[in-house]
Every structure is written in C-alpha cells, then in structure tokens.
C-alpha cells in the first residue's frame, strides 16, 4: 500500500492532503466505528430497559455485530462498483439503510425481548439521544474554540 501511495504521489494523481485523509481513515475509522457501536448499543440497551426490555448489553452488541460487519462489507463492495453519484447509488444506499434498520429491529427485539414497536422506539430514541449529545458537544466545542482562538470575533 505504501508503494502504491508513493507511486500516486510521484505521478501527481493525489495530493498530500488526500494521502493523509486516506491514512487517517484507514487507521482511525475502525477505532471510531467500534467506539460508536459501543456507545449506540449502550444507549439502545438503556432505552430498551426503560421500555421493559430484559436483555443485556453483551447480547445486544453481539446481535448487532452479527449483521453490521457483513452488511457493511457488502454495502462497501456494492458502492465501489456503482457510479459515484446518481439515482442508482442513492437507491442502493437507501435500500441498504432500510435493510440494516430492519436487521437492527430484529437484533433489538431478540436481545432485549421487546415487541417490534418497542424495539423501533428504543432504536429511534437512542439515535435521538446520540444526535442530541453530538449537537451539544459540537456547539460547546465551537463556542470554546471561537472564544479561545478567535477573540477578535467577540463584541
């Protein structure tokens, strides 16, 4: 891989930024994926318990990992062969997302012993909480960064 990147760099086919982005993605993406899966599963398990679920975090993360790994690989392979933009890519992405959501409902139902409606509620509420936390962290981080690094922007 290093030789390939060197050849691309020498032939001016990619910029230094793109190589850095690629290496960052290859090295950091798996770590962030595991952290994200763990946080989302913990939130989903907590919400499922509040909705009357009986399962454990361990059961839910195993159930999710059983479908996330293969569908991610299949989805990535499909996207590699489709045009970058266009109706086919959008429809394929939507189809994969709906399929993964259906598998997630089944995983939460079986791991937490919930009905379909409660499993859907647990998934949607956990995503809502996660997005809310993300917005709060980004907002606070942006406020701190602009205050510290750009004091001239303050009135």
Instruction: Indicate whether 78 belongs to any domain.
Output: yes
**Structure tokens given for 11:** 């032939």
18 within a domain of the structure (yes/no): no
Whether 106 maps to a domain, the answer reads: yes
Alpha carbons 43 and 57: distance in angstroms, whole number:
9
The model carries a pTM of: 0.72
pLDDT of residue 42: 95
pLDDT of 1 above 60 = no
Residue 21: the pLDDT is 61
Give the highest mean pLDDT range of 68-82, 90-104, 117-131. 117-131
Q: Is 114 among the domain residues?
A: yes
The tokens of 132 are what?
């809310």
pLDDT tens sequence across 37-50? 999 999 999 999 99
In a domain, 134, yes or no: yes
For residue 9, tell me if it sits in a domain. Answer: no
Is 146 within the bounds of a domain? Answer: yes
What's the rounded Cα separation, in Å, for the pair 123 and 121? 5
Q: Domains in the chain: how many in total?
A: 1
Residue 58: inside a domain: yes
Q: How far apart are CA 52 and CA 114, in angstroms?
A: 7
Instruction: Tell me which residue range forms the domain holding 100.
Output: 30-153
């Amino acid at each position: 891989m290093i030789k390939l990147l060197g050849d691309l760099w020498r032939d001016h086919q990619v910029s230094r930024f793109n190589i850095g982005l690629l290496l960052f993605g290859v090295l950091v993406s798996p770590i962030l994926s595991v952290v994200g899966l763990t946080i989302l599963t913990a939130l989903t398990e907590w919400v499922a318990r509040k909705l009357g679920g009986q399962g454990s975090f361990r059961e839910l993360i195993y159930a999710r990992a059983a479908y996330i790994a293969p569908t991610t690989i299949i989805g990535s392979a499909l996207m590699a062969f489709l045009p970058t933009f266009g109706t086919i890519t959008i429809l394929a992405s939507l189809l994969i997302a709906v399929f993964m959501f259906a598998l997630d409902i089944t995983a939460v139902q079986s791991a937490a012993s919930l009905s379909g409606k409660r499993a859907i509620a647990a998934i949607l509420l956990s995503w809502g909480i996660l997005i809310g936390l993300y917005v709060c962290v980004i907002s606070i981080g942006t406020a701190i960064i602009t205050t510290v690094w750009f004091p001239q922007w303050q009135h």
